Chain A
């Protein structure tokens, strides 16, 4: 079975503060990990994926297989980062489903 855990529901920080959104997963094989974001009144969209190893909007996430984690980080939060963030996992099979965590609301205050 595959499972994604986001232990916090809400993170509130001031603009310019560092952000870390936690994500832990459970999967016996080699998973693909993603972060999806939903801004207010917009649809869910992909933010980044671990295989790309890229920084998107200043966010990065490193897959730590030893700790089975995929935390999302940004050194300096901006107000426009305020949104709902979901960590997701897809298994290694071609038709594997996408499993989501419960999501966390990031609120960046001015």
Chain B
């Protein structure tokens, strides 16, 4: 298993500002992901964080809006840039260990409110 620490757990931000969310794992993991869960909606994959290279973004998400870093196998950050109220959501970090591993582990999430 993997224990994931995600910071901050919640924040209220002004529109136009940026927030960086951190995800720390207690062991080295192969794959790290960032999800968004908007109110009343399902979890939507934003991107796969790749160690040492640019993240792989899903359709509808771009690097300028959601820059991602992954400097090593245990840490990643997601930045929500130039925020608007539509960015209010829960952001989740998830990891999967090993290319063939099927179980995904999740952080506790960051509840973001943009005012």
B-contacting residues of A (Cβ < 8 Å)? 4, 32, 34, 42-46, 49, 51, 86, 90, 94-95, 97-103
Q: Is the CB of A97 within 8 A of B58?
A: yes
Per-residue interface assignment for chain B, residues 73 to 115, with 1 indicating a CB less than 8 Å from any chain A CB and 0 otherwise: 0000000000000000000101000011011111111000000
Which residue of A4, A97, A103 is within 8 Å of B45 (Cβ)?
A97
Bound Cα distance from A43 to B9, whole angstroms = 12
Which residue of A4, A98, A101, A103 is within 8 Å of B104 (Cβ)?
A98
The 3 closest A-B pairs by CB, nearest first: A44-B106, A102-B42, A100-B43
Given contacts A102-B41, A102-B42, contact A44 B92 (CB under 8 A): yes
A-contacting residues of B (Cβ < 8 Å)? 4, 31, 33, 40-45, 48, 58, 92, 94, 99-100, 102-109
Which residue of B31, B40, B45, B106 is within 8 Å of A43 (Cβ)?
B106
Which residue of B45, B100, B108, B109 is within 8 Å of A98 (Cβ)?
B45
Residues of B contacting A34 in the complex (Cβ-Cβ under 8 angstroms): 102
Residues of A contacting B92 in the complex (Cβ-Cβ under 8 angstroms): 44
Q: Is the CB of A43 within 8 A of B58?
A: no
Bound Cα distance from A49 to B42, whole angstroms = 19
Q: Is the CB of B106 within 8 A of A101?
A: no
Q: Is the CB of B43 within 8 A of A49?
A: no
Nearest Cβ in chain B — how far from A51, in angstroms?
7
Bound Cα distance from A32 to B100, whole angstroms = 12
Residues of A contacting B104 in the complex (Cβ-Cβ under 8 angstroms): 46, 98
Nearest Cβ in chain A — how far from B24, in angstroms?
14
Q: Other than the known A86-B42, A100-B43, A102-B41, what 13 A-B pairs have Cβ atoms closer than 8 Å?
A: A32-B102, A34-B102, A43-B109, A44-B92, A49-B103, A51-B102, A90-B102, A94-B99, A94-B100, A95-B31, A97-B58, A102-B40, A103-B42
